[in-house]
């Protein structure tokens, strides 16, 4: 019953959101984020501790300000994603601008497959939806299955409306490898905590963090290019995503020549894309979801 109520509430919010302007939708999201903050005392503490450890030179006032804005960003993402079913292709074109979109198309057309990396940053749902819609590339988007299966089904209908395909994270390993072997494209968000013992630990804001090694492993084994991008919110509440190619050739060459081991190559490449993410977060710390217990292990 609670799952149904939550799902119907999301559908109602989506309808209300759909009749608002982009700016009005943003302010409704800010209001929603403030409510989420009040309702999540446990996550508030995790968020505060994460920010305090990541930015030891910042005072309490700054940390609380970023904490509040981070929650507001979550609210905005919720409100915007809820109305995705009502948004046309032209609506998305007004909402999301991709710089260097040709880079994605040209790299994919080289026929070596493609890995797209992003994070829970800005509106990551819009970033994933828009890249498939704009490029017409069949993209396998790796997502975490939600506990509320009814809401999960609705969200996935929105996510796939533009042409993307959804693969659940816990069933993704074989599908990702199959897609890469067939020179396809996969999109992965890799900023959350990985496993305790099976993945690689790299420094993230000065602390070791368990990080998914799959992107680096695939890139090195199959020589697949990696492109990353983050949805940065503009002053008019739209988004700009700058697609950039992650340098991998130097590490691939060192592994191929035997200069370094496969494991060393995986760690070096993982460190590289994590550093890119950290730099993006430092530029706009309020756009990242600090609520996750990233440094649990």
Residue 156 confidence (pLDDT) above 80: yes
**Residue 152 pLDDT:** 83
Average pLDDT, integer, range 246-260: 95
- The 3-class secondary structure across the chain, one letter per residue, is CHHHHHHHHHHHHHHHHHCCCHHHHHHHHHHHHHHHHHHCHHHHHHHHHHHHHHCCCCCHHHHHHHHHHHHHHHHHHHHHHHCHHHCCHHHHHHHEEEECHHHHHHHHHCCCCEEEEECCECCHHHHHHHHHHHHCCCEEEEECCCCCHHHHHHHHHHHCCCCCEEEEHHHHHHHHHHHHHCCCEEEEECCCCCCCCCCEEEEECCEEEEECCHHHHHHHHHCCCEEECCEEECCCCCEEEECEEECCHHHHHHHHHCCCCHHHHHHHHHHHHHHHHHHHHHHCHHHECCCCCCCCC
Residue 1 confidence (pLDDT) above 80: no
- Give which of 297, 286, 276, 84 is closest to 190, Cα–Cα: 276
Average pLDDT, integer, range 63-85: 96
Cα–Cα dist 17/97, whole Å: 21
**Residue 25 pLDDT:** 97
pLDDT-derived band at 217 (thresholds 50, 70, 90) equals: very high
pLDDT-derived band at 36 (thresholds 50, 70, 90) equals: very high
127: which 2 tokens?
């970033």
**Residue 7 pLDDT:** 87
- Bridge pairing between strands 200-204 and 231-233: unpaired
Residue 154 or residue 16, greater confidence? 16
Domains of the chain: 2-287 (3.40.1130)
Residue 211 confidence (pLDDT) above 80: yes
**Residue 110 pLDDT:** 96
Round the average pLDDT of the chain to a whole number and report it.
94
Average pLDDT, integer, range 240-265: 96
Question: Residue 98 forms beta bridges with which residues?
Answer: 241
Is the whole model's pTM more than 0.85, yes or no?
Answer: yes
Task: Work out the burial of residue 252: count CB atoms within 10 Å of its CB; fewer than 13 is exposed, 13-18 middle, 19 or more buried.
Answer: middle
Average pLDDT, integer, range 136-151: 89
Residue 86 confidence (pLDDT) above 90: yes
Integer CA distances (angstroms), 166 to 34, 89, 287, in order? 30, 19, 24
Percent of the chain with pLDDT over 70: 100
pLDDT-derived band at 6 (thresholds 50, 70, 90) equals: confident
Average pLDDT, integer, range 254-260: 94
Residue 68 confidence (pLDDT) above 80: yes
Average pLDDT, integer, range 179-191: 95
**Residue 198 pLDDT:** 87
Cα–Cα dist 102/106, whole Å: 6
**Residue 176 pLDDT:** 93
∠ CA 105-107-111, rounded to 5°: 105
Integer CA distances (angstroms), 225 to 128, 192, 197, 263, in order? 18, 22, 27, 19
**Residue 287 pLDDT:** 98
Residue 48 confidence (pLDDT) above 90: yes
């Amino acid at each position: 019953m609670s799952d149904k109520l939550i799902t119907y509430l999301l559908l109602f919010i989506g309808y209300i959101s759909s009749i608002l302007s982009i700016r009005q939708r943003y302010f409704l999201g800010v209001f929603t984020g403030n409510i989420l903050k009040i309702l999540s005392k446990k996550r508030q503490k995790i968020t505060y501790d994460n920010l305090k450890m990541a930015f030891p030179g910042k005072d309490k006032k700054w940390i609380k300000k970023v904490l509040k804005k981070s929650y507001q960003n979550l609210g905005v993402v919720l409100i915007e994603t809820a109305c995705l079913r009502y948004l046309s292709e032209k609506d998305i074109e007004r909402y999301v601008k991709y710089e260097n979109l040709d880079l994605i198309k040209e790299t994919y057309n080289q026929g070596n497959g493609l890995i797209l990396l992003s994070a829970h940053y800005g509106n990551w749902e819009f970033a994933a939806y828009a890249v498939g819609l704009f490029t017409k590339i069949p993209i396998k988007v790796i997502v975490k299955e939600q506990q509320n299966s009814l809401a999960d089904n609705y969200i996935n209908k929105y996510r796939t409306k533009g042409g993307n395909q959804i693969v659940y994270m816990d069933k993704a390993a074989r599908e990702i490898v199959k897609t890469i072997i067939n020179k396809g494209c996969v999109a992965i968000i890799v900023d959350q905590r990985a496993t305790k013992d099976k993945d690689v630990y790299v420094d993230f804001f000065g602390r070791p963090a368990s990080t998914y090694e799959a992107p680096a492993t695939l890139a090195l084994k199959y020589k697949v290019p990696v492109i990353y991008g983050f949805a940065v919110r503009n002053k008019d509440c739209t988004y700009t995503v700058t697609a950039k190619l992650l340098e991998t050739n130097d590490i691939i060459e060192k592994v191929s020549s035997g200069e370094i081991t496969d494991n060393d190559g995986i760690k070096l490449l993982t460190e590289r894309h994590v550093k890119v993410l950290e730099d993006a977060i430092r530029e706009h710390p309020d756009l990242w979801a600090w609520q996750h217990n990233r440094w649990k292990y």
